[in-house]
Each structure stands twice: as structure tokens, then as C-alpha cells.
Amino acid sequence: MSIHEILEKPEFTKSDIVQLLSASGEDEKLLFKHAASVKEKSIGTTVYLRGLIEMSNVCAKDCLYCGIRKSNSRVNRYSLDEKEVMTAIEFAYKNRYGSVAIQSGEINSPAFTDKINQILKASKKLTNGEIGITLSCGEQSEETYRTWFESGAHRYLLRIESSTEELYSKIHPNDNSHNFSRRLNALRILKEIGYQVGTGVMVGLPFQTLEHLADDLLFMKDFDVDMCGMGPYIEHKDTPLYAYKDDLLPLNERFKLTLRMIATLRIMMKDINIVATTALQTIDKIGREKAIQIGANILMPNITPGKYRDSYALYENKPCTDENADDCKNCIDVRVHLVNHQVGYAVWGDSQHFKRKQKINKKS
């Protein structure tokens, strides 16, 4: 079946998706053009902002791909205090970002839960409830997730990294702290509580096939996610998976495959939020803009205090670590207008998919 015929289908099979992810040349252009059209018709050409606060690189997990894994003794560990986080949130609010995303290593402790809770409450007070808040703080108890939701968090990103348990087990230690079923259950709990739920995967991992990636996209559709963040896998020299660096796709191929993943997901899930991840910019200076053109609609400018940015190194060659929040702000409009889009300032930019589900639930 031709790419054109596949794109005309209302639903994709796994083999359809594998063919789309294999597209090159004119077929790839056709995929990207179709995804851009679906995006414009479904959610328009507005890009929404999430001011990214990398709150802490202290992590209890030991994921085999991650630069801030617990066993990496070369990391300069840090944790922003509440005042530093609130200063960043105030910057986002004053500059009309609409939302912030608070990200950290995975920590389970009463002190950590309370710290996030106090920041949530203070953020709502500081901004008169106007700032949108996404959390990405890993697996937590149902009680913790509920506490944070009730204090003002309404979106949560928990990346599955791979929806195939066999591959998941190859990129994580084999212990109870890195349990595939528990991570899936955490996603289910977040959904039940009422969060807008996001997940995502790395593209181009060791041992990963196009079939794995097709299953990832089908998983997101079946789970009915509200948002997604997918980026190319970029190896880090201080991780166990670095041993497989010579077996990986070239960086540029990982980049192009990530774009095909984004485009295909946009066609499959027309009205979800899709992030143009920072890792894309590591490979291509206008990588995030290319992602926006073919399906992404969320940007996450980094507003972490500059002195900490090099220490939140999940992968090598992270971009923009030498910039401050003002530098990021000044180039956002230019970059977005470069690809004929506009920034949606001072709005949360919630998932249209989530809003549509809410309306359906109210009617039923």
C-alpha cells in the first residue's frame, strides 16, 4: 500500500505505522504535509508555552540511559529552594507564559511531597490562580498525586520510555524501583484523579525497532493520552547504555525518525498537545521549529536559574545552558514566527483532547 493510501485510512494498523515511520524522500514529505494539515484543521497554528523549571537533579532511580541516574557520582547535585522556584514562576507569570512545568528527579519522601505542595499553593496565590502548572516528578503514591492535584497541579507528564515491557527491562535495572507494571499503574492513577496525562518515549534507543515505536504510538492512542513528549535518544557517556553507542542510528537519523513519530501521532490523535522537545535542538539548531511545522504545538523555554542548567544533564550537549530566562524569552517569538505560527501568551493552552473528553463525560 502506498503512503498516500495509508494516509487516507481512518485508522492505522501496526504495519501501516511501521511503513509511515520508514518513509523517506517524497513519501516523508507527504507524511509531513498531511500531518501539518491535520494539525492546522484540528488545533490551529498557535504554540503554547510551558516555562521549564528543572527543580532538582537528585534522583532515587538508576535508569540506564539517564545522566542524572543515582549511581552517576560525577553529577553536581542540586535542589532549588522554594524561593528560587517561586522567582522562576514569577518570571513566567510576568512574561505571560501562561504555564510552567516543574520537573525533577524521582524522589519519594514526605519532605519532597510537601515541598511541591507548598510551591503549588504559593504559585496559585502569587498569580491569582492564573498560572497553569504541569508536574513531571515521576512515580508517586496515589495520595501524593491527589494532594498535588487538589493544590493546583492539573497536568502531569510521566514518560513510559517504552511501552514494550521487554525493551523497558533492557533500559532499566531489574529491581522493584524500576517496575514496568508500576509505571503503567501510575499513569492509570493520574488519569483517574483527573489530571491531563502525558507520556512519551525516546526514539533511537539501543535494542529498539520500528515495531517497538509503532507499539508506542498505539499504546498512546489506546491509553487515550492528552499530551505527549517524544525526543531522540542522545547518549550520555556516564551511563551503562553508552556501551552501545556504536550500534545506534546516526544522530540525524534519530532526529528524522522522531519527526516521523510526531507527525504520525498528530494524525492518529488530532487534538492532543505534543511537545517540541529540547533534545531535537541538540541535533538540529531549528529542530524544535521543524517539529512545530509537522505536528508539535508546545514549547518549553527553560527558566531554571542559569547556574544550575549544566547540572540537569539527562543527555550530552544539552542546548541553551549558557542562556538565561530573558535570552529564551527574546527568541521565542522569532523562532515561532519563522515557521508561520504564533505564540499563545497568557493562556494555559490545555489539551483540546482533554476538553473534548470532559464535554462528552458531562453529557453522558
Mapped onto helix, strand or coil, the DSSP state of residue 353 is helix
**201 secondary structure, DSSP code:** B
Q: How far apart are CA 54 and CA 305, in angstroms?
A: 9
Query: What confidence score (pLDDT) does residue 317 get?
Result: 66
Sign of the four-CA dihedral 278, 281, 287, 288: positive
Query: What confidence score (pLDDT) does residue 325 get?
Result: 63
Domain ranges, residue 280 = 3-363
Q: How far apart are CA 192 and CA 195, in angstroms?
A: 8
11: cell is 485508522
Pairing of strands 46-49, 51-56: unpaired
Task: Provide the domain count of the chain.
Answer: 1
Mean predicted confidence (pLDDT) in 83-110: 97
Q: Tens digit of pLDDT for each residue in 20-35? A: 999 999 999 999 999 9
325: cell is 530566562
Mean predicted confidence (pLDDT) in 309-321: 71
Confidence of residue 315 (pLDDT cuts 50, 70, 90): low
**324 pLDDT exceeds 70?**
no
CATH code at position 171: 3.20.20.70
**Hunting for cell 492535584 — which residue is that?**
149
Mean predicted confidence (pLDDT) in 139-165: 98
Percent of the chain residues topping a pLDDT of 70 = 96
Query: Who's near 93: CB < 8 A, 6+ residues apart?
Result: 126, 127, 130, 131
Mean predicted confidence (pLDDT) in 149-157: 98
Q: How far apart are CA 239 and CA 146, in angstroms?
A: 34
**323 pLDDT exceeds 70?**
no
Q: How many CA atoms lie within 13 A of 222 on its CB side?
A: 11
Q: How far apart are CA 306 and CA 299, in angstroms?
A: 19
Query: What confidence score (pLDDT) does residue 200 get?
Result: 97
**328 pLDDT exceeds 80?**
no
Task: Give the 3-state DSSP-derived string for 104-158, with helices as H, strands as E and coil as C.
Answer: ECCCCCHHHHHHHHHHHHHHHHHCCCCCEEEEECCCCCHHHHHHHHHCCCCEEEC
Q: Tens digit of pLDDT for each residue in 238-288? A: 999 999 999 999 999 999 999 999 999 999 999 999 999 999 999 999 999
Query: What confidence score (pLDDT) does residue 361 get?
Result: 82
Q: How far apart are CA 31 and CA 38, in angstroms?
A: 11
Q: Tens digit of pLDDT for each residue in 59-79? A: 999 999 999 999 999 999 999
Q: How far apart are CA 118 and CA 135, in angstroms?
A: 14
Query: What confidence score (pLDDT) does residue 239 get?
Result: 97
Confidence of residue 101 (pLDDT cuts 50, 70, 90): very high
- Residue 241 near residue 206, CB atoms below 8 Å: yes
Task: List residues bridging with 230 in a β-sheet.
Answer: 276
Sign of the four-CA dihedral 233, 236, 240, 243: positive
- Residue 312 near residue 276, CB atoms below 8 Å: no
Rg (CA), the chain: 19
- Residue 230 near residue 204, CB atoms below 8 Å: no
Q: How far apart are CA 278 and CA 202, in angstroms?
A: 12
Sign of the four-CA dihedral 313, 317, 318, 321: positive
Q: How far apart are CA 29 and CA 278, in angstroms?
A: 23
Q: How many CA atoms lie within 13 A of 165 on its CB side?
A: 7
